[in-house]
Chains A and B, each alone.
Chain A
Amino acid sequence: MSSQVIELAPGNSINVLALTKAFPHRGRPLLAIDGLSLQVKRGEFVCIVGASGSGKSTLLSILAGLDRPTNGRADVKGHVSLMFQEAALLPWLTAAGNVELALELRGVSRPNRTRIAHDLLRRVHLGGFESRRPHELSGGMRQRVALARALAQDADVLLMDEPFASLDAISRDLLHEELERIWAQSGLTVLFVTHNPREAVRLGDRVLVFASRPGRIAHEIQIDLQRPRTLDSPDIAVIARRITDHLKQEMRGDGS
């Protein structure tokens, strides 16, 4: 994305240095992120948990190139793709059409597009649903199409902004498994934002707890649990409890 790639430490996919982002708010600048620094190694799966107002989504927008930092640096090595809480599929295109559009914009030739799109949809277990339109799919299936579309962008870094927050528990469980499998196979770097400490521990190699107003990293927890993990394992519950305590502390410490 950025031309400053050379200065990235070798092996790092994401390098954020003293990043500050301010938005105008009632005529005054309001700090969303204040002096944030963060490194993510290539192939690492990092989760960010934090209350609302901790600048998580802002960070992802900046990393995806949709927004500019006020100060500091945010460099990403390679192509970036971003997934949102809503699937945000184009409603006039079929499931395959949505994936194919990502391929087309990447410059994949027409004959290859259909084949690759069908392969990707099979990878997210949506074989047979290629010609369905988004409104004919369930929330979980839509999010899978969005995942297939993100993969179609041939990204090196996948940014995910609470992608499973609006799904039911079972769909979310299945998508956790699929995401973990795809991540393990592809060597993607993933930066995953969530409200849910268990989800963060379930998925991440590392969990960053963000403090709010302005957003910055309050705690960092390395997760060394064996993969594949299950959401309801006691080990995950213990670590998630610790993270929840941190979050509560942050919220109380904020004076609210």
Chain B
Amino acid sequence: MAAELVLAAETSERVEFAAPKLRTWGGRMWAWLWPKLVAVALMLGTWQLVVLSGWRPDYVLPGPATVFGRLATDLSHADFYVGVGVTLRRALTGYLMAVAIGASVGIVVAQVKVVRRAVGSAILGLQSMPSIAWFPLAILLFQQSETAIASVVVLGAAPAIAAGLLNGVDHVQPLLIRVGRVMGARGPALYRHVILPAALPSFIGGLKQGWAFAWRSLMAGEIIVIVANSASIGQQLQFAKDLADAEQLLAIMVVIFVIGVVIDTLFGALDRAVRVRWGLIEAAEQ
């Protein structure tokens, strides 16, 4: 009897110790998840309400259930994956080119004073240009081709990436540069050990924004520029419109949305990790 009591006490203690841990972990997951679930529910709810109101007939504006049913069918077809593959390949190559060009331009502009005056404002100007406005020119120059799409993706993303790096380099604490110089770091060594790491959080902000621009430009490009034998997502979207296939159209929009959210989340995590490491924000307690 006594032994049982002791055991019970031990067990309950153990449970008490374990419970808060579990709660905090589960609680954190929940705290992260619930606003997103609410957002999705709100979106689907509004959509469903509009459909129920009979504002447009079903074949023009189908409800969520129909669309997700269609999406499930799409997911079982190879065409769908080929399309997603084409789009993601374009996104990745275009983005990587933009990173390479944006970062190189950013470094040169940050370092050379003469270049900075001329190019600095040009970068800001480019950033204010809606990337879709480049497509007519791109099509004239490169016809309906991959190059036309890639060039606009790069033009959309590279200025944001360059600006992020430039901003980071400009706002390095002068004291850190003095420390670097006292330690004997000059020229490239100063860049490598002090300036670039100090600029990294801002550069990642630029990368994130650059991705957003690249993704928008790419979707615009895939809708406007029709390249033969490549049923990209944007092109499928355009076909669905041409065929008045509203279910397919909305199903593809869901896919575009999900890809965008997933990649934004990845950038958010990277951004957060760097800020925590740099001591710019507190790490969540482990």
Interface string of B168-186 (1 = CB under 8 A from A): 0000010110110111110
Let me know if B175 and A101 touch, CB within 8 A: no
CB within 8 A of B181: which of A66, A104, A106?
A: A66
Let me know if A88 and B200 touch, CB within 8 A: no
Let me know if B179 and A88 touch, CB within 8 A: yes
Interface size on B, residues (CB 8 A): 20
A84 within 8 A of B: yes
Residues of A within 8 A of B198 (CB): 90, 92
The smallest C-beta distance from B21 to any residue of chain A, in angstroms, reads: 22
The smallest C-beta distance from B58 to any residue of chain A, in angstroms, reads: 56
Evaluate whether A135 and B184 lie within 8 angstroms (CB atoms) in the complex, with A84-B179, A86-B175, A88-B178 already known.
no
A6 within 8 A of B: no
Main secondary structure of the interface of B (DSSP, over half): helix
Instruction: Name B251-286 residues within 8 Å CB distance of A.
Output: 277-280
Let me know if A66 and B185 touch, CB within 8 A: no
CB within 8 A of B278: which of A84, A92, A153?
A: A92
CB within 8 A of B193: which of A84, A88, A105, A149?
A: A105
Let me know if A133 and B279 touch, CB within 8 A: yes
Evaluate whether A101 and B193 lie within 8 angstroms (CB atoms) in the complex, with A84-B175, A91-B279 already known.
yes
Instruction: Name A79-118 residues within 8 Å CB distance of B.
Output: 80-82, 84, 86, 88, 90-92, 101-102, 104-106
A15→B57 CA distance, assembly (Å): 91
A46 within 8 A of B: no
Closest residue of chain B to A102 (Cβ to Cβ) is B183
Residues of B within 8 A of A81 (CB): 182
B197 within 8 A of A: yes
A64 within 8 A of B: yes
CB within 8 A of A90: which of B176, B184, B189, B280?
A: B176
A217→B183 CA distance, assembly (Å): 29
Interface string of B70-111 (1 = CB under 8 A from A): 000000000000000000000000000000000000000000
B194 within 8 A of A: yes
Let me know if B197 and A92 touch, CB within 8 A: yes
Residues of B within 8 A of A101 (CB): 183, 193
A55 within 8 A of B: no
Closest residue of chain B to A93 (Cβ to Cβ) is B197
A135→B278 CA distance, assembly (Å): 8
Residues of B within 8 A of A90 (CB): 176, 179, 193-194, 197-198
Residues of B within 8 A of A134 (CB): 279
Interface string of A128-168 (1 = CB under 8 A from B): 00000111100000000000010001000000000000000
A90→B178 CA distance, assembly (Å): 12
Residues of A within 8 A of B178 (CB): 66, 82, 84, 88
The smallest C-beta distance from A190 to any residue of chain B, in angstroms, reads: 15
A91→B175 CA distance, assembly (Å): 12
The smallest C-beta distance from A94 to any residue of chain B, in angstroms, reads: 10
A153→B184 CA distance, assembly (Å): 9
Closest residue of chain A to B190 (Cβ to Cβ) is A105
A90→B278 CA distance, assembly (Å): 9
Let me know if A92 and B183 touch, CB within 8 A: no
The smallest C-beta distance from A106 to any residue of chain B, in angstroms, reads: 7
A149→B277 CA distance, assembly (Å): 20
Residues of B within 8 A of A84 (CB): 175, 178-179
Interface string of B58-69 (1 = CB under 8 A from A): 000000000000
Let me know if A106 and B184 touch, CB within 8 A: yes
A210→B151 CA distance, assembly (Å): 63
Residues of A within 8 A of B182 (CB): 64, 66, 80-82, 153
A230→B153 CA distance, assembly (Å): 68
The smallest C-beta distance from B178 to any residue of chain A, in angstroms, reads: 6
Let me know if A133 and B277 touch, CB within 8 A: yes
The smallest C-beta distance from B23 to any residue of chain A, in angstroms, reads: 26
Let me know if A153 and B183 touch, CB within 8 A: yes
A102→B189 CA distance, assembly (Å): 12
Let me know if A88 and B197 touch, CB within 8 A: no
A84→B178 CA distance, assembly (Å): 10
The smallest C-beta distance from B203 to any residue of chain A, in angstroms, reads: 13
Interface centre among A82, A102, A135, A153, by most B CB within 10 Å?
A135
Let me know if A88 and B184 touch, CB within 8 A: no
Q: With A66-B178, A66-B181, A105-B183 given, can you name 18 additional A-B contacts, CB distance below 8 Å?
A: A65-B181, A66-B182, A84-B178, A88-B173, A88-B176, A88-B178, A88-B179, A90-B194, A90-B198, A91-B278, A91-B279, A92-B197, A92-B277, A105-B189, A105-B193, A106-B183, A133-B277, A153-B182
Chain B residues within 8 Å of A, Cβ to Cβ: 173, 175-176, 178-179, 181-185, 189, 193-194, 197-198, 200, 277-280
Pick 16 A–B contacts, CB within 8 A, sort by A: A65-B181, A66-B181, A66-B182, A81-B182, A84-B175, A84-B179, A88-B178, A91-B279, A92-B197, A92-B200, A101-B183, A106-B183, A134-B279, A136-B279, A149-B183, A153-B182
Chain A residues within 8 Å of B, Cβ to Cβ: 64-66, 80-82, 84, 86, 88, 90-92, 101-102, 104-106, 133-136, 149, 153
